Amino acid sequence: MKLVKLFFTGAMMSCSLLTSAQQARLELVTDQVQSPVCMAVPGDGSHRQFIVQKEGRVWIIRNGKLQSEPFIDVSADMVKVNPSYDERGLLGMAFHPKFKQNGKFYLYFSAPVEKPGKGRNHKSVIAEYRVAKSSGNTADPATKRVVLEFDQPESNHNGGDIVFGPDGMLYIASGDGGGGGDKHGATGNGQDLTNLLGKILRINVDGSPYSVPRDNPFLKSPGAKGEIWAYGLRNPWRISFDKANGRLFAGDVGQNKFEEVDIVTKGGNYGWRIMEGFHEFNVPDGADKSKLIDPIHEYDHSDGISITGGYVYRGKALPALAGRYIFGDYNGKTWTLAQQGGKWTRHDLVFTNKPSGNLQLLSWGQDEAGEIYMLVTIAGASNKGGVYKLVK
């Protein structure tokens, strides 16, 4: 994710009002994981949390304790990444909806290409693995099956999140391929339906290597990639489904001025690079903006630098946050969004025991009970990472 952006202008006053703060505490789960960029849960009743480390390893937290050995290490298949600033790496993880029966899970990571060069920096890979038969707490790397891969022209704007929807399909967040202003192609990758960059993709992983669902919106459009579910995104850094109603939320990292939150719908065009948030960015002659979908919220860079999308709270520990979308920024600021009729209202989310130091918010997690976790690094502390649970 490009580390640049955040919130809100007078033009936004009518649709995103800043009101009183919400409060919670942070309960430390572990401070032993460096660069934790994703948390996944298997949904098998084990109440384990799987923490994805950008450098290539996945760790298990069970009963509040970090397992001594990694669940899986795929660093040998990846490009080498710098934990301090690299946007590549092991970026996403999702468990098959029938994981309890088949032991399958999926990883999204950055892999080298044979002949890197202009327009070809690395490739994004979504691969399937299975747990080792002897232990549900380790995976078998030999079971690797590449599901989908596509080239990335730059090292940044990889997106990288993967989540299964209520429909059992795998949704993949893909950035625009990097470079300022979505510079690749005549219209930019975000508006180009002939490639997979700057999109939300939707596939059926039970195919070989996958299949495109028949109800995907562009499956029958000439020249378009059938995998595309929605488009016009710059760098969707964390997507999530609301457990209560299935709405798909995305935090989309902006260019130089605005960060945004979107609710992603089938076939939707979210505007990039024509728009950045609610604002014109690069409007081609004769462009029809009437069908572009506005975000539900934006903020400018007086508030932050790069959005970190989160989750709608559906847990029980913090009833005051019920139904609110929890999100934040790389700079450590955190908020909630509450829907009131057709308007979304932003509230500060204040932690009464926030850890000292320059906290950098990398990601959020949600456990089987709907409780929320915050994944961070502390700058200047040898990139020390931390996983915290939001509690009352």
Give the whole-angstrom CA distance, residue 388 versus residue 374.
5
In this structure, the number of other CB atoms found within 10 A of the CB of residue 133 comes to 8
Contact of 103 with 121, CB cutoff 8 Å: no
> CA nearest 306: which of 37, 4, 84?
4
Q: Which amino acid is at 303?
A: D
Q: Which residues contact 318 (CB under 8 A, 6 or more apart)?
A: 24, 390, 391, 392
Alpha-carbon distance of 210 to 316, in angstroms, equals: 37
Triad 183, 186, 187: Cα angle to 5°: 80
Catalytic residue among 47, 96, 122, 157: 157
The reply to whether 157 belongs to the active site is yes
Quick check: helix, strand or coil at residue 319? helix
Neighbours of 44 (CB within 10 A): 15
Burial 331-350 (b: 16+ CB within 10 A, else e): bbbbbbbbeeeeebbbbebe
Token digits for 120? 């070809």
Q: What are the angstrom distances between the C-alpha of 199 and each of 121, 178, 193, 195, 260?
A: 19, 13, 9, 9, 15
Farthest-apart Cα atoms in the chain, separation: 61
Euclidean distance between CA atoms 86 and 362, whole angstroms? 12
Token pair listed for 349? 């989310």
The 3-state DSSP class for residue 242 equals coil
Cis bond before residue 209 (omega within 30° of 0): yes
Catalytic residues: 157
